[in-house]
């Protein structure tokens, strides 16, 4: 079936059933993007993950997702969207099984890598299938459901992750995908139609895929591993494919990886231009960036994702380790952010009708900045969970306002025939931002721990320098998870009567470090505010020009 095939204006029962299946598949991968965050402290303890491994567990999913998203959208057009969605669900189930049986960090990261590939298969195919299956008023309803699933399921992720981890174990956040995926597969064959698009440009952009994948992967690798391997000179040996990078070399692998990543991304641009000029299929249609609204809108989407996923990486670690809350309580607190986003997202269209979508985006990102700063100033081991949840709800209100109105604003000047590529590009910007949020904000958290923990431990009387150094290193490597062990041991642990004082000092140091990290997230959101102001200005210019063109016609 081709997208050009005649489809009834009003959808029938089978089409609406297919929407339910597509929404279920979408919810599975959206859930996986947020459900892991609240279970991460438990994974760190159970699998003895170090700080960089914890970042990779969160970040590798988004890196692979972003790198493949544009390519898999084109593959679905050629090979059949239902076929690619089925392959994605099968891969996702396989990755979930591998993750649930992980015995160490490497196996868990590999599993998340596989899930990232699967997510890149599923997301664009569900959106394209909705676009190809529905017409007229039904299409607007279908897209509304598709968007609501993203907001609503993202809100459930931390809560579900906390409940499963506390009542069963962290493995169940992955195992639950197995029966869910099987049901989706059966239903897909029963009700989801196969659709394809007529692809004129020949070939697949393999080199573009490699350049973008290596570029994003190497850049994120450098940002995540800088703290453990050394930002410039090696502080720890690095092993890869049987090769060992020794500590006595003059240069760490980190700056080399960052340099390779930036070089690949720079080369990616002229290569994509060359493909387009030659009339061949390209991963990214760079001509879309001729529209100012598209340029600034993608910058805003990128910054919003950095802020959101940076916060989702830092706060679960702080709430569980420094505040001493359970994973379920942490899930409730973090779910407040998603609930706020869901409420404001549903009402954003009313504000848009009164003030215009670009203005609503400005308001939303401004509220996000304010919310992130409020959270950072509140951070203390003794802060009330209710107060933290209230401020996160406020942050979520901004997130919902900005996200709900951003998609249409970004695509306002993009021609209808290029809207699919435009939507995929915006999704890629968000996924790249998600990965960068974990990497950049996580790197700031690591730097903050290295700076503040020694200062706080110096306040503990009777603690020797060697003991303080060992405790500091263990806390940094475990992303704060060792605090829980020291706190639970009380005066009966190896530290004796100093145990409670050490736990308090480490919690205070983690609060200071988390504040640094949230300031970094707020900084990117502030850039998003500036971008949204430019987006609003360019949207007004575009609207004015369209009015002039209409009068001239």
3-35 core/surface letters (b: 16 or more CB in 10 A; e: else): beeebeeebeeebbebbebbbbbbbbbbbbbbb
Structure tokens at 138: 């039904």
Of 495, 511, 527, the residue that ends a domain is: 511
Q: Tell me if 157 sits within 8 A of 34, measured CB to CB.
A: yes
Residues 33 and 109 in one domain: yes
| DSSP structure string for 512-536 | HHHHHHHHHHHHHHHHHHHHHHHHH
Residues 193 and 211 in one domain: no
Of 474, 490, 511, the residue that ends a domain is: 511
Count of structural domains, the chain: 3
Residues 32 and 160 in one domain: yes
Asked, for residue 242, whether it belongs to a domain, the answer is yes
Of 161, 182, 198, the residue that ends a domain is: 198
Give the CA-trace dihedral at 351, 357, 358, 362, to 10 degrees.
Answer: 40
Q: How many CB atoms lie within 10 A of CB 109?
A: 18
Q: Tell me if 1 sits within 8 A of 195, measured CB to CB.
A: yes
pLDDT value of position 371: 96
DSSP 196: B
Where in the sequence is the domain holding 95, given as residue range(s)?
A: 12-198
Q: In a structure prediction context, what are the per-residue pLDDT tens digits for the chain, which is 553 residues long? A: 445 445 556 667 788 888 889 989 988 888 887 788 888 889 998 998 888 888 888 778 888 887 787 778 777 777 888 999 999 999 999 999 999 999 998 999 999 999 999 998 998 888 778 777 777 677 667 766 666 676 667 667 888 888 999 888 999 999 999 999 999 999 999 998 888 766 666 667 888 888 988 888 888 888 888 877 888 888 888 876 667 888 888 889 999 999 999 999 999 999 988 888 887 877 777 888 888 888 999 999 899 989 988 998 899 999 999 999 998 999 999 989 888 887 887 777 778 788 888 898 999 999 999 999 999 999 999 999 999 999 999 999 998 888 877 867 887 787 766 666 777 777 778 878 888 888 889 889 988 998 999 999 888 887 888 888 889 888 888 888 889 888 888 888 788 888 889 999 999 999 999 999 999 999 999 999 999 999 999 887 665 444 434 333 4
- Tell me how far apart the alpha carbons of residues 254 and 222 are, in angstroms, rounded to a whole number: 5
DSSP 461: T
Q: How many CB atoms lie within 10 A of CB 273?
A: 14
Q: What is the CA radius of gyration of the chain?
A: 24
pTM above 0.85, yes or no: no
Asked, for residue 147, whether it belongs to a domain, the answer is yes
Asked, for residue 232, whether it belongs to a domain, the answer is yes
Question: What SS3 class is residue 202?
Answer: coil
Q: Tell me if 285 sits within 8 A of 418, measured CB to CB.
A: yes
Asked, for residue 313, whether it belongs to a domain, the answer is no
Residues 168 and 39 in one domain: yes
Using alpha carbons, select from 298, 305, 297, 300 the residue that is nearest to residue 434. Answer: 305
Residues 274 and 126 in one domain: no
- Tell me how far apart the alpha carbons of residues 226 and 234 are, in angstroms, rounded to a whole number: 9
Helix or strand (DSSP H, E) at 174: helix 172-175
Q: How far is CA 49 from CA 45, 190, 440, 480, in A?
A: 7, 42, 19, 11
At a CB cut-off of 8 Å and minimum separation 6, what does 156 contact? 31, 335, 338
- Tell me how far apart the alpha carbons of residues 16 and 39 are, in angstroms, rounded to a whole number: 34
Q: Tell me if 176 sits within 8 A of 392, measured CB to CB.
A: no
pLDDT value of position 258: 92
Question: What SS3 class is residue 245?
Answer: strand
User: How far apart are the two ends of the chain, measured CA to CA in Å?
Assistant: 38
Structure tokens at 305: 């994702």
Asked, for residue 267, whether it belongs to a domain, the answer is yes
Residues 49 and 89 in one domain: yes
Q: Tell me if 214 sits within 8 A of 67, measured CB to CB.
A: no
Q: What are phi and psi of 2, to 5 degrees?
A: -105, 155
Using alpha carbons, select from 262, 310, 238 the residue that is nearest to residue 59. Answer: 310
Give the CA-trace dihedral at 539, 542, 543, 547, to 10 degrees.
Answer: 170
User: How much helix, strand and coil, in percent to the nearest 5, is found in the chain?
Assistant: 80, 0, 15
Q: Tell me if 431 sits within 8 A of 308, measured CB to CB.
A: no
Q: What are phi and psi of 547, to 5 degrees?
A: -65, -40
- Say which CATH number the domain at 148 has: 1.20.1250.20
pLDDT value of position 201: 62
Strand partners, 244: 239
Residues 189 and 212 in one domain: no
Q: How many CB atoms lie within 10 A of CB 497?
A: 9
Q: Tell me if 58 sits within 8 A of 37, measured CB to CB.
A: yes
DSSP 101: T
Residues 222 and 275 in one domain: yes
- Tell me how far apart the alpha carbons of residues 537 and 500 are, in angstroms, rounded to a whole number: 55
Asked, for residue 390, whether it belongs to a domain, the answer is no
Structure tokens at 452: 């503040």
Residues 140 and 186 in one domain: yes
Residues 181 and 62 in one domain: yes
Residues 140 and 19 in one domain: yes
Asked, for residue 465, whether it belongs to a domain, the answer is yes
At a CB cut-off of 8 Å and minimum separation 6, what does 158 contact? 34, 35, 37, 38, 312, 316, 330, 331, 334, 335, 338
Q: At what angle do helices 357-378 and 327-355 cross, to 10 degrees?
A: 150
Residues 215 and 188 in one domain: no
pLDDT value of position 2: 45
């Amino acid at each position: 079936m081709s997208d050009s095939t005649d489809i009834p204006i009003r959808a029938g029962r089978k089409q609406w059933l297919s929407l339910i299946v597509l929404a279920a598949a979408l919810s599975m991968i959206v859930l996986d993007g947020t459900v892991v965050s609240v279970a991460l402290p438990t994974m760190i303890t159970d699998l003895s993950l170090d700080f960089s491994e914890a970042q990779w567990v969160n970040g590798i999913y988004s890196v692979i997702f972003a790198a493949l998203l544009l390519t898999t959208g084109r593959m679905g057009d050629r090979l059949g969207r239902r076929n690619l969605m089925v392959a994605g669900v099968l891969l996702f189930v396989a990755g979930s099984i591998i993750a649930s049986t992980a015995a160490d960090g490497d196996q868990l990261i590999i599993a998340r890598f596989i899930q990232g590939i699967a997510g890149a298969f599923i997301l664009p195919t569900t959106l394209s299938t909705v676009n190809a299956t529905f017409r007229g008023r039904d299409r607007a309803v279908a897209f509304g459901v598709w968007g609501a699933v993203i907001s609503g399921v993202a809100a459930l992720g931390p809560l579900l992750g906390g409940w499963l981890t506390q009542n069963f174990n962290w493995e169940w956040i992955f195992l639950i995908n197995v029966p869910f995926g099987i049901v989706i597969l059966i239903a897909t064959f029963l009700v989801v139609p196969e659709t394809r698009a007529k692809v004129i440009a020949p070939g697949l952009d393999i080199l573009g895929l490699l350049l973008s994948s290596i570029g994003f992967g190497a850049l994120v690798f450098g940002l995540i591993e800088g703290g453990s391997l050394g930002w410039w000179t090696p502080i720890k040996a690095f092993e890869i494919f049987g090769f060992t990078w020794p500590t006595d070399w003059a240069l760490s692998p980190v700056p080399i990886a960052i340099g390779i990543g930036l070089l690949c991304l720079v080369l990616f641009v002229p290569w994509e231009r060359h493909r387009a000029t030659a009339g061949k299929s390209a991963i990214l249609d760079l001509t879309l960036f001729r529209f100012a609204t598209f340029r600034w809108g993608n910058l805003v989407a990128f910054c919003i994702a950095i802020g959101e996923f940076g916060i989702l990486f830092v706060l679960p670690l702080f709430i569980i380790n420094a505040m001493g809350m359970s994973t379920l309580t942490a899930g409730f607190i973090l779910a407040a952010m998603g609930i706020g986003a869901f409420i404001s997202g549903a009402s954003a269209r009313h504000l848009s009708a009164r003030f215009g979508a670009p203005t609503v985006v400005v308001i939303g990102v401004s509220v996000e900045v304010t919310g992130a700063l409020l959270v950072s100033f509140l951070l203390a081991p003794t802060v009330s969970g209710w107060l933290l949840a209230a401020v996160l709800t406020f942050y979520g209100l901004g997130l919902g306002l900005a996200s709900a109105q951003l998609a249409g604003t970004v695509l306002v000047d993009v021609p209808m025939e290029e809207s699919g590529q435009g939507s995929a590009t915006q999704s890629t910007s968000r996924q790249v931002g998600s990965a960068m949020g974990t990497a950049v904000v996580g790197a700031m958290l690591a730097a903050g721990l290295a700076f503040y923990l020694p200062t706080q431990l110096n306040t503990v009387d009777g603690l020797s320098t060697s003991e303080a150094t060992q405790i500091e290193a263990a806390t940094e490597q475990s992303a704060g998870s060792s605090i829980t062990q020291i706190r639970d041991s009380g005066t009966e642990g190896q530290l004796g009567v100093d145990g409670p004082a050490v736990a308090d000092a480490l919690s205070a140091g983690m609060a200071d470090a988390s504040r640094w990290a949230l300031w970094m997230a707020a900084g990117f959101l502030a850039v998003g505010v500036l971008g949204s102001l430019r987006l609003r200005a360019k949207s007004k210019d575009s609207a004015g020009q369209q009015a002039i063109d209409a009068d001239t016609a």
